[in-house]
Structure 1
């Protein structure tokens, strides 16, 4: 019979309590509790021991939450992931605007947006996309997704 991990301590306490009520003795914390039980004229002994062996069921761990990276540089975003124990390799950088090419060295560029949003759980397969701009003030500037109005095809000349 398998007992769920969360119920095992309660079950152990119950067994130990019952053993104590049956006249069992305990000499120290490492000695198993024994309780004599009388059935007819035959005496049997029940022994309860605490097991510290791991169970087959994995311990559920919660997924880390997406940190708030808005306004940080890409380099700071990578450091934040590392500090939280999340692989920085999960970060994918992209330009905030359609008319801006992201250079190879974009560590000093600023995070404008993230996907997923801050606070969302990051499962083991979640890829994080950060949208970057060279200047933080460019994060709020947009002409239909373009940094410069002249590059927006919808703009009237």
Structure 2
């Protein structure tokens, strides 16, 4: 018998050439400095599978250690509030009382009813609301308001009670009378009215009595005279009768007392 032929053993395949990014030194440096990049390069290298897994685990742990640990400066800042709270000293009460805040004018003040008040009281009440001066005038036109009129009484106010006041532009006015003096019916009235002069007596014009008819043909009254009936008619006095101004016998031809009849 012939001996059995030798078993055929295939020749090993040639390993591919290594690229520059597959160099072990470069892969290890990336695993230490940039673990995600290093892991990617390790799996593209020509390392054994076991080596790739081991490099991935070690690089991942190296990458997660700084993320999971607390930074040292954070621990120091947490201790600062506790230390400050421990050394805080309770404040000692002040011997002087705290002054109360001054009242501020209302945002929408309303005019008070100041009628009957002394001017000093009305002035304080209004000026606390608007922050400006309350103007005062005499209620009587013929009475002069003195410089010291704080005790004079308010008779009228130009802004009705309850009306809103604008602090920036409000300028209310009050009209005053002296204590013991009644208020007038309206501001500007005279306390002492001027006397009324008596009306002059009517004069009547003197009347001239008609001159009696003496039968000579003269005028019948006053200074009126007519030359003829044409003048009488032109004056609108025809017919003219005895006793009327201007009557004359030369105008009455028939002597019946009526001249210029036609």
Tell me the TM-score normalised to structure 2 length.
0.31
CA contact (8 A) 1:73 1:107 kept: yes
User: Highest CA radius of gyration, 1 or 2?
Assistant: 2
Number of matched residues?
91
The residue number in structure 2 matching 1:149 is 193
CA distance in 1, matches of 2:179, 2:125: 20
Give 1:135 deviation, angstroms: 2.6
Does the residue aligned with 2:143 lie in a helix, a strand or coil? coil
- Counterpart pick for 2:154 among 94, 111, 116: 111
Residue correspondence of structure 1 range 81-92 to structure 2 within 5 A:
81=126, 85-87=128-130, 89-92=132-135
Does the residue aligned with 1:75 lie in a helix, a strand or coil? helix
CA distance in 1, matches of 2:108, 2:140: 31
CA distance in 1, matches of 2:188, 2:130: 33
CA contact (8 A) 2:156 2:187 kept: no
Deviation string 1:18-50 (CA, Å, 9 cap, x unpaired) is xxxxxxxxxxxxxxxxxxxxxxxxxxxxxxxxx
C-alpha RMSD over aligned residues: 2.5
CA distance 1:144–1:67, change in 2 (3 Å): closer
1:80 aligns with 2:80: no
CA distance in 2, matches of 1:89, 1:72: 19
- Counterpart pick for 2:177 among 84, 108, 133: 133
Highest RCO, 1 vs 2 (Cα 8 Å, sep ≥ 6): 1
Give 1:142 deviation, angstroms: 6.3
Higher helix share: 2
For structure 1, list consecutive stretches of 5 or more residues without a partner in the other structure: 1-60
CA contact (8 A) 1:142 1:148 kept: no
CA distance in 2, matches of 1:74, 1:108: 6
CA distance in 2, matches of 1:138, 1:103: 17
For structure 2, list consecutive stretches of 5 or more residues without a partner in the other structure: 1-105, 198-262
Give 1:80 deviation, angstroms: 2.1
CA contact (8 A) 1:138 1:147 kept: no
CA distance in 2, matches of 1:92, 1:140: 19
The residue number in structure 2 matching 1:70 is 115
Give 1:149 deviation, angstroms: 1.9
Higher strand share: 1
CA contact (8 A) 1:78 1:88 kept: no
